[in-house]
Structure 1
Amino acid sequence: MRRFQSTRFFVLTLTVGLAFVAYLLINEGVSEVGTALMVANWNILWVIAFRFVPMAIDAAGWKYLIAGYRVPAFADFVLYRWVAESCNTLLPAAQVGGHVARALMLARRLPARTLAGASVVVDLTLGLGTQFLFIMVGLLLLLFKVSLAPNIALLAMMLSGGLLIFGCLISVQYWGISSVFNRIARRFFDNRQIMQVLGGLEVLEKETANLYSDYDRLIICALLRFAGWMVKSGETYLALYFLGALPTITAAVVLEAVGVAANSFGFLVPGALGVREGGIIAVAALLGLPTETALAIALIKRGRELAVGLPGLTAWLIFERDVLFPPQGRFRKNL
């Protein structure tokens, strides 16, 4: 896997993804896509602002896992989720580095630092499980809209994305929850130092097991996480509406599920660039949506990622500047 983690592979896949998006724009007509985007005009800002709604729902589920402890305010959890999403979206972090970042941010503000890492591990695995369910819901809705035979390749791609997530869950159960988090930490940060921050691996394992033993909290968190995935479809619904289409909840859920599945299926490509756009265009055609509208939706989502992600990274730099840029020029041990 080292070749997949190299800078050369990152640049190569990013270039291929950009080239494919450029091909789609040229093939479908830049002017047609531009005209579709002009219909939405400044209403795209509503799409950007709406992103914080599912983000707040996800933060509520995460906070509920450790409710009753001395934890920061709900707004702080939203900030940590914002930073995590920004890192996973805009940085070469394989969509997991942001979770390590939010664990560190929370750890610095908890009396029991290990609780931060344990809560992120549990929240992350519940997020993967509910993501799999959401993709399956989108797939089932798509099956009701189209016939299976002529679209077997597309449905296979969506199912592969879902199975990839399911495989991650199986791997987590095989290796152990904290072991997986430890592997993530080793990949993106210095493992020894991050374990010092989180209180040590043995304590992390014990705290994670304690959280998993509270089934009531797990169920509530899982329901909130699944609600977050469903509410994310509202972003697609708004985009369809402002683009002048006649949106339906079914179409919004299907298109959102396709985007999520594409991100999982194309995890080796930075931001699943090109993979997500191709999936959205293919499914939009099955739903009877014009290709330029589908591509406009994909571009709006890319624009939203930048509009939400760049301020999120800025907020991270501001709130964590003493950790990211210490006077010694290295990661502080006294986090």
Structure 2
Amino acid sequence: MGIGRHALRYLPVLGTVLGLGLAIWLVATHDLAAVADAFGRIGLAGLAGIVLMRIVVLTLCGIAWERVLHRLSATTEAGAFLILRFVRDGINVLLPVASVGGDVVGGRLLTFWGVPGSLAAASILVDMLIQVATQALFVLIGVVLLMQMESDSAASLAAWALRALGVTAALLAAFFVFQRSPLIRGVERRIAELGRRFLRDEAEVSPGTAPATAPSDAGVHGALDAVWAPGRWPMLAQGFALHLLAWMLGAVEIWIALTCIGVEGVGLTEVIVIEALSQAIKSAAFPVPSGLGVQEGGFVLVGGLFGIDPGTAIALSLAKRVPDVVLGLPSLLLWQTLEARRATVMPPRG
């Protein structure tokens, strides 16, 4: 059992090594000059546009996360969700955490704003469910558009995507049932323990504040019941719509890059298909942090359906990674700043 846990700890690192190797192989086996030329044609203005679009996307995701807990916690600040959404993304795209570590950290950091640990954990679980559900819907839209093409390659890729969506739908249903069932009480003890620890620290720093932020007796299960209450479905629907819009705007990043490169004959339908299918391929390889190599391969595969040469496709993928670094590095620094600030206000134990 201990050996299994030890091996799982290094799975993201192994995924990073394999993904990086795949990315290097893809670049090395294609025309490096063509990749550099296409990337250079995007220019600083194009890259700045892509970064700005990513800021809009993450801001929408932050607002969607806030909708999950809107009015459920008196100490919830909308700004906290926006800040921590960037931190979540920065951790997921730049650290070997298999694309979910940032979400766990985000829920933990949310308690720094006085949100009870049970509600913070519930918000992450529900937000992740909504995010994956909207991604599946976005991929379905891309598949429907792809099926309009009359080619064997398009048909094969659409068939694979539909099978993947079938598996995703089953997993989403299971995840939803898990959240709504008493089974979650088995895992909530670990999560609630984290929340209680932070609340205990807060009480030591500011006596008298604990009752206002203490988690309910029902724990994470009760918090999930509160989030999924029928009267809150309009709020959750807003979060769903915002996440779906965010996925759609991801296609705008591709449109900006292709326009700057000078690729013709690729319109709105094509960029939606490219974004949707490349996201599906990247998600299928979730153990590989940030889809290293997998994203590049996906762009080469899907871009080829629309006559985009491999060099341009790889350059397009690299352009999509620029916001990962430009926004991710400051987000990691912000994370460490929040941790350090928390440590300074916590009294030494002993």
Contact residue 64 and residue 240 of structure 2 kept, 8 A? yes
Match status 1:300 vs 2:329: no
Residue type of the partner of 1:132?
A
Distance of 1:168 and 1:140 partners within structure 2? 21
How far the C-alpha of 1:145 sits from its partner, in A, is 3.0
What SS class does the counterpart of residue 148 from structure 2 fall into? helix
Kindly provide the CA deviation profile for residues 33-92 of structure 1, in whole angstroms up to 9, marking residues without a partner as x: 101111112121221222010111111122123333434443332111000111111222
2:123 aligned to which of 119, 123, 130: 119
Aligned to 2:94: 90
Residue type of the partner of 2:194?
Q
Kindly provide the CA deviation profile for residues 93-131 of structure 1, in whole angstroms up to 9, marking residues without a partner as x: 222221122222222213544322222222221111111
Aligned to 2:294: 275
Kindly provide the CA deviation profile for residues 271-318 of structure 1, in whole angstroms up to 9, marking residues without a partner as x: 222222111111111112222111111111223212221111111111
Identity %: 26
Match status 1:314 vs 2:330: no
Match status 1:129 vs 2:147: no
Aligned to 2:241: 223
1:168 aligned to which of 155, 168, 171: 171
Kindly provide the CA deviation profile for residues 205-243 of structure 1, in whole angstroms up to 9, marking residues without a partner as x: 112111111222121221111111112221111121222
Distance of 1:201 and 1:155 partners within structure 2? 47
Moved more, 149-158 or 270-279: 149-158
Aligned to 2:49: 46
Match status 1:256 vs 2:294: no
Contact residue 96 and residue 184 of structure 1 kept, 8 A? no
How far the C-alpha of 1:159 sits from its partner, in A, is 3.2
RMSD: 3.0
How far the C-alpha of 1:323 sits from its partner, in A, is 4.2
How far the C-alpha of 1:165 sits from its partner, in A, is 3.1
The verdict on how the C-alpha distance between 1:47 and 1:324 changes in structure 2, with shifts beyond 3 A counting, is farther
Q: Point out which structure has higher relative CO (alpha carbons under 8 A, 6+ apart).
A: 2
Distance of 1:86 and 1:104 partners within structure 2? 15
The verdict on how the C-alpha distance between 1:109 and 1:12 changes in structure 2, with shifts beyond 3 A counting, is closer
Contact residue 59 and residue 78 of structure 1 kept, 8 A? yes
Distance of 1:135 and 1:182 partners within structure 2? 33
Aligned to 2:255: 237
How far the C-alpha of 1:182 sits from its partner, in A, is 7.6
TM-score with structure 2 length normalisation? 0.82
What SS class does the counterpart of residue 28 from structure 1 fall into? coil
The verdict on how the C-alpha distance between 1:196 and 1:328 changes in structure 2, with shifts beyond 3 A counting, is closer
Residue type of the partner of 2:243?
R
Moved more, 195-204 or 63-72: 195-204
Contact residue 153 and residue 305 of structure 2 kept, 8 A? no
Moved more, 280-289 or 167-176: 167-176
The verdict on how the C-alpha distance between 1:267 and 1:293 changes in structure 2, with shifts beyond 3 A counting, is same
The verdict on how the C-alpha distance between 1:96 and 1:255 changes in structure 2, with shifts beyond 3 A counting, is same
Identify unmatched segments of 5+ residues in structure 2.
Answer: 200-214
1:26 aligned to which of 10, 25, 28: 28
What SS class does the counterpart of residue 176 from structure 1 fall into? helix
Identify unmatched segments of 5+ residues in structure 1.
Answer: none
How far the C-alpha of 1:158 sits from its partner, in A, is 2.7
Distance of 2:317 and 2:178 partners within structure 1? 36
How far the C-alpha of 1:144 sits from its partner, in A, is 1.6
Residue type of the partner of 1:95?
S
Aligned to 2:59: 56
Rg: which structure is higher?
2
The verdict on how the C-alpha distance between 1:143 and 1:207 changes in structure 2, with shifts beyond 3 A counting, is same
The verdict on how the C-alpha distance between 1:145 and 1:323 changes in structure 2, with shifts beyond 3 A counting, is farther
Contact residue 75 and residue 113 of structure 2 kept, 8 A? yes
TM-score with structure 1 length normalisation? 0.85
The verdict on how the C-alpha distance between 1:59 and 1:6 changes in structure 2, with shifts beyond 3 A counting, is closer
Distance of 1:55 and 1:23 partners within structure 2? 31
Moved more, 105-114 or 243-252: 105-114
